[in-house]
Amino acid sequence: MSDPTLLRIIQLNPQNLGNPPYNLDTHGFNDSWWEYTSHAPTRDFSFRIKNEEVARVKMLYQPLQASYIGIQDQHQVKLIQFLEVRADHRRQGIGAQAISLLSRLHPDPYLVAFSSEADDFWSRIGWTWHPRKDGETKHFMRLYSREPCCNIKSTRNIPKSFAHPQN
């Protein structure tokens, strides 16, 4: 079991010609997430214990549409597009520690994430779920933010029709 307190963050340099900055030969990561290069401004981060890569994050810089309860305005946000802990290091607190390090590196309030089957993780680390204003849940990932974000109003008054997602 790895000690997540030894985790350090490294911002990767963008690669030329659309090549991803990650080593796709590292076992335990979903390569299809990391081989894609975006045309939007991105930042790529590697999290390591000693010299061993144990987690990755890809962040996009893009406008967040004002279609979520508790978010008043459209803002340019830092969106965590992908977070992955290497398969043999999962369930050891590394993901939470990685987000903590990333949050310290980006202390401004505009750090958000869309969740695909990771709602328990985002809730457990204290991030707030923001339902879509139109009530649509079937075709969209759920938005989570750390507080405070984006001129957020309290989400404590979310209508009961917007039940918290269950996994």
Q: List, for residues 23-62, the tens digit of each pLDDT value.
A: 888 889 988 777 766 666 788 999 999 989 999 999 988 8
The residue whose two tokens read 């984006």 is 150
**Cis preceding linkage at 4, omega within 30:** no
* Mean pLDDT for the chain overall: 79
Q: What are phi and psi of 9, to 5 degrees?
A: -105, 140
- What's the pLDDT tens digit per position in 124-134? 999 999 888 88
pLDDT at 69: 81
Radius of gyration of the chain (CA): 16
Rounded Cα gap, residues 129 and 120, in angstroms = 11
Q: Where are the alpha helices (DSSP H) in the chain?
A: 31-34, 94-105, 119-124
Separation of CA 94 from chain center:
13
Q: What is the pTM of this model?
A: 0.78
Token pair, residue 56, equals: 């990755």
The end-to-end CA distance of the chain, in Å, is: 26
Q: Is the dihedral of CA 71, 72, 77, 81 positive or negative?
A: positive
* 40 in Cβ contact with 49 (< 8 Å): no
* 34 in Cβ contact with 24 (< 8 Å): yes
